[in-house]
Structures are given as structure tokens and as C-alpha cells.
Structure 1
Amino acid sequence: MKSQILSELRELKSIMAQLVGTADQPEQEQFSKDALAKASKLFLKMAAQRGEWVKEDELGKYIKADWRAGSFIRSEFGFNACIKDGRSHLYNKKALQKLGQELKARNIDLSRYMEYRRSETEFQKKVSANKKLTKNKHPYELPSDIKDITTSPPPTPDVALVKADLKRLKDEFFQFKMSEYIDIYRDNHAMVKFVYYFEKYLDPQIKRRCKKWCDDFNYANHALELITKKKEVFVPVKEEDMIQL
């Protein structure tokens, strides 16, 4: 009886080794950590082939964005239903579908939101322009005879001037029908609409005007925020049209 049990256990172990894919290795190495890790990775790849997991270059099927969306949703939304696979990631299909549904429900174009976040980040970099010192080392060398070169803060602009500038920009927005070319996000950050395959055919004058308008609007709005601690809210719809709505 005992020998029969041992025989059955050996047979079961042999079957498990075949399932794991280590039957051709020495018996003592068939269930090592490396062997099991290799088998786990193989299983994940097989699962991806079965459709349970989605590769980086297939994300666009579930969320409206390109292959760069993977890194973005992990960092921006804390998306953790994914596993590392070499240099890339595999994403859980059901979790992606839920994310796609929620983005749609909130009327969010993920590609455009990614552009918006990049634009906002770049603008803040221009505003702050801070450089961090490397640890235990100064990345510069000041001449010893340079000192006592200072200035005092300039007068704060009259808030009425800044608001007048913003009003002028709003009037221009409607005058030149810029809503066709410019998006306003969170009611206070302007971005030029962009489609790569249309860019070549856009009137250069319109392109320059819209880019300048966005820069001026974001500039004036930031100035207002520095003075009043609040940004101007701009809903790109005329008051008379809002009344009709």
C-alpha cells in the first residue's frame, strides 16, 4: 500500500513537472524558484494570447489613446491592474474596459487629456523655471567678487488692467470664432486644437493668431492668479447663447 502511494505521488510529481514545463530538468531543479518564475511568465503570455491580458500596442482598442497611454494611466490614474512583461506591461482587459467606460461617461478624450496635461506641465515649467542642486555638489561656480547685486519686487499690476486684458482676449475669441480652433479646459487653460493631418492645410495667419491668443490668455490668467489667488473663469459661450441654453 505504501509503495503504491509513493508510486502515485511520483507520477503526480511527474505530471506537474510536465505542466510547469520542467520535466527535462534534473529532479531537484524541476520546482526551483527560477523554474516556477519561468513557468509563471509563460502562463501570463499564454493568458495574454487567450485575451485575458492586453499588450501595450493594443490599448487603443479599449481606451481612446495611442501606445503611450499605458505609462500615463499608471502614473496619472494609479492604474495597477497590470503586470510587468520584460520592458513593457500587460493590462487586464476587464479593468481597461471599465476605465474606458468611465472615461466615456465623463466625456473624456484620453488622447486630448494627455495633451492637456503635457501642455499644462510645460506651462508650469516655464513659470517656475526652477533647477534643483545635485546632492553634495554645486552645478555652478560663482566668481568670488560678485556680490550685492539685488533688486526689489516690481509694483504689482493693477488687477483692473489684467482683467481688462482678459476681457479683450475674450472678445477676440468670439470675434474671430476661435472656438473652432481652441479648447478651454477647466475654464482657465487654453490649448490650440491639433490634428496632425490637418496642420499642413491650416491658414498660417489663423495658426499664429490662435497660438498667440492661447499664450496671452494663459499668461494673463496666471498673472491674475498671482495677484488675486484666483484664476479667471472663461466659459467659451456667449452670454446670449447661454441664456438660450
Structure 2
Amino acid sequence: MEEDKVYAELKKLRSLLAKVVGTQDLPKRAQFSREAIKKAASEFRKLQTERGEWISESDISKVIRSAGYRPGKFIIEKFGFTNYFKRGKQYFFNRKDLVALNKELKTRKINLETYMKLEVDQEKFQKYLRELKQGKKKRPRFKLPENLENIESQPYNHSPKEKILQHIDDLMREYEKDKLVEFIDIFRGSHAMMKSIYYFDRYLEPAKRKQCDKWCFEFNYAQEALAEIKKIRSEIIY
């Protein structure tokens, strides 16, 4: 009968599919369970990885040469990279999409390792400024009088903008005079960071490193102060 023929074909198809998935030795009810399919998918990904279709996080630098150390999480968070999976503690990324990302980074002239260091350095500096503003958190050892209130000062309207600009000009003259461009990068015109090449760091003279560290701090501080002025509401036209 036609129905028997169709049933036989379906049975044969099911058997072939079980072989493809690799569950032909399991009981029929377990051949296409969620666990079996998940295991088959994992094995398939493993096979793809062996064929080079998936790149482990430690091998990203083979595709993106400027990747630096452990860039996986950074790529996912900063670039919205979605074509990846995680096995244990290791990330695996799709090679084709990494190649496309690398092409885009090159087009925009972005060194991934430098960008990662820049983000860390900026966050570190912002954290320092936040701690300066907030002070160290301690348990209060005081008690204010209940009727103590309404003692305030008017906003600070005498902006030191000219002094800040002069400070920046002085720093830039030092930057050019002492050829600090060889040691310092300035990003977006507002954040300075020491160039870092691990193998050469130990050969940099301590006095020069001290000068560069001081220069970066003062430049970044002045730029933050300049940005803060723009936030202050005042009747004075700068």
C-alpha cells in the first residue's frame, strides 16, 4: 500500500538522520532528544573548529594581527560581535566575520590593541577623578544640628579657562620641543597615553618615562578641566 511505502521511506529517513547526528546507537526515543541534538551541535562545531571555520580567542591575532591579549570579550562588548560561542571558559569566533571585522578596522585605521589600552587608560583616569571628587568612603563620625540648612554659595563664574588653555599651549610646546611624539600618543585631541611596546619599555630612560607620565597626567587633567567648564551654566560668554 502507498501508506506503507511512505512509512518505510520516513523510517529510512529517520535512520539516516540519526546517523548524521551520531545518535543511531541510542534508543529511538533518545535519538532526537534535546541533549542528543545539543551534543551533535557541539561535535559539529568542534569539527568546524578543526577545519578552521571557528577561531579560538587565543588565535584571533592570526586573523587580526593587532588584536593583543585576550580581545574576545572586548570585541563582543564594543563591536557587538554576535557570531561566536563559548565552550567552557574559551570563546570561539567565526573566521569569516573576524576577517570582515579586521577589514573594517584597517579601513578606519584602528589598531585593536591600542584601542583596548586606550579604553582601559581612559577608564582608569576617570576613576581617579571620581575618587578625587567623592573622597574615600568612610562611616560617618559626625552629627549635624537639625536646624542647620540653607548655607550655599553661588556658582563659580570666574572660569580659569584662559589659564587652562595657556597650560595646554605650554604642554604642546614641550611636546614638540622634546619630541614627545616618539613616546606619547594623543587620541581625539583630548587624551594622552604612553606608547607601550613591551620589549622596549625597559630601555626607556627613567627620567624620560617620568617626564612622559607627568606630561600625560597634566594634559589629561587640563582637558578634563576644559570639558568641565562647558558644563557649568553661567552668564559669562567664554
Task: Mark yes or no: TM-score above 0.5.
Answer: yes
Q: TM-score range by the shorter chain?
A: 0.7 to 0.9
2:49·2:55 contact (CA, 8 Å) conserved in 1? Answer: yes
Q: In 2, are the aligned partners of 1:56 and 1:70 still within 8 Å (CA)?
A: yes
TM-score, normalised to structure 2, is: 0.84
Equivalences for residues 26-65 of structure 1 within 5 A: 26-63=27-64, 64-65=66-67
Equivalences for 1:184-203 in 2 at 5 Å?
184-203=186-205
Unaligned runs of 5+ in 1: 132-138, 231-245
Letter in 1 for 2:80: G
Q: 1:100 to 1:186 in 2, by over 3 A?
A: same
Measured after TM superposition, the shift of residue 90 of structure 1 is 1.7
Percent identical pairs in the alignment equals: 37
Q: Is the 8 A contact 1:65 1:111 kept in 2?
A: yes
**Residue 99 (structure 1) aligns with:** 101
Following superposition, the deviation at residue 83 of structure 1 comes to 2.2
The alignment's TM-score, normalised by the length of structure 1, stands at 0.81
Q: Secondary structure at the match of 1:84?
A: strand
Number of matched residues?
Answer: 223
Equivalent in the alignment of 2:16: 15
Q: C-alpha distance in 1, partners of 2:115/2:101?
A: 14
Q: Given that residues 156 and 227 in structure 1 are in contact (C-alpha distance below 8 angstroms), is that contact kept between their aligned partners in structure 2? A: no
Give matches, 1:75-154, under 5 Å: 75-129=77-131, 141-143=139-141, 145-146=143-144
Q: For the residues of structure 1 that align with 2:171 and 2:152, how far apart are their CA atoms?
A: 32
Counterparts of 2:88 and 2:71 in 1: how far apart (Å)?
Answer: 18
CA deviations on 1:33-76 (whole Å, 9 max, x unpaired) are: 11111111111111121222211111101112134211111111
Using the alignment, how far apart are the partners of 1:69 and 1:225 within structure 2?
31
Mapped partners of 2:105, 2:5: distance in 1: 60
What RMSD over aligned residues (CA atoms) do the two structures have, in Å?
2.5
